[in-house]
Amino acid sequence: MTDTKDANAPTPVLLIGEARAAQTLFQTIAAMLEGASDVTARTAPAEAASDRAGLAGWVAKSGDSGRAIIIAHGRAADTLVAALVAPVPEGPLALLHPMAPPAEVAKVTKGRDVLITAGATDPETPAASVGALADALDAAGAKTDVFWNRGGAEITEAEIERIIAWLNAARGASVDPSTLPVAMETEGPKGRYFIEAPGGITAEMTFSRASDTLIIIDHTEVPDIFRGTGTGLRLVETLIADARTSGTKIIPLCPFAAAQFKRHPEWGDVLETKVRMKPKAGPRTP
């Protein structure tokens, strides 16, 4: 979660790389993020990405909030790894097709999310070097994921999909979920309460309406980035508030919801305790 003074300020997405393939990808990302209120895309000028000092200075200036989502390609990715010390801001980091990563990396923030992508047949990003980089980052405290595409130096469609998914997850992780509203939608007897973060990351609790006065909680799903933040509890509490307003009783079939009801006896006024169970079949008479 962001620790900046202004929690609502957009997170910089810093795009660094000189290759044509990288620039094409960056244009796709910038177009996707156009109009987004949670992030702002900034592409590094060629002169900034050409040397370590220039790159570190541009990144520090552009990530002025102290946190950024950084996507670097090729030689720029190598340079950035070597510069993973202050004033490089904290935040998720994607290293696309690193060409000659350093044998050692600086200490990184514990748990920093790092994505590495490479082409399986790219001679400039040998598997041994990529594996060594991933191991070094993990040893330094990062949480590293490696994606191999089936091509070479090009950035494939599958790779772009993986990068976009990673970026959207990073966007969701950059906001405080307690600031996000709980919404509700229905379709026939089915419905859900949900909290959606930027990038489409969604926590939800689904329900079925058994009658005008009875709701069954079916399932609760909370993404990893929301775990430990009380997001699931907010979903249940919102349903309970609505049930009290409408005079509706609740059957919590979902294990998470059932556990929450056990922990909160004050919710007993909306708990349906008179659930009729289908009687067991007795022995057949001849």
Architecture of domain 178-270: 3-Layer(aba) Sandwich (3.40)
Residues of the chain with CATH 3.40.630.30: 178-270
For the entire predicted model, the pTM comes to: 0.76
Flag whether pLDDT at 59 surpasses 90.
Answer: no
Report pLDDT digits (tens) over 126-146: 888 888 888 888 887 889 999
Residues of the chain with CATH 3.40.50.1820: 11-173
Flag whether pLDDT at 123 surpasses 80.
Answer: yes
Report pLDDT digits (tens) over 5-57: 455 688 999 999 988 989 999 999 999 998 888 899 999 987 776 677 778 78
Least confident of 80-84, 87-91, 276-280: 276-280
Mean pLDDT (the chain) is: 85
Flag whether pLDDT at 2 surpasses 60.
Answer: no
pLDDT in the model for residue 249 = 96
pLDDT in the model for residue 84 = 62
**Total number of residues shown for the chain:** 286
pLDDT in the model for residue 278 = 47
Least confident of 8-12, 246-250, 255-259: 8-12
Architecture of domain 11-173: 3-Layer(aba) Sandwich (3.40)
pLDDT in the model for residue 5 = 44
pLDDT in the model for residue 145 = 94
Task: Using a pLDDT cut of 70, give the percent of the chain over it.
Answer: 86
Task: Using a pLDDT cut of 90, give the percent of the chain over it.
Answer: 49
More confident call, 178 vs 277 = 178
pLDDT in the model for residue 109 = 62
37 contacts: CB under 8 Å, gap ≥ 6: 10, 198
Q: How confident is the model at residue 3 (pLDDT cuts 50, 70, 90)?
A: very low
Q: What is the mean pLDDT of residues 187-208?
A: 93
Flag whether pLDDT at 276 surpasses 90.
Answer: no
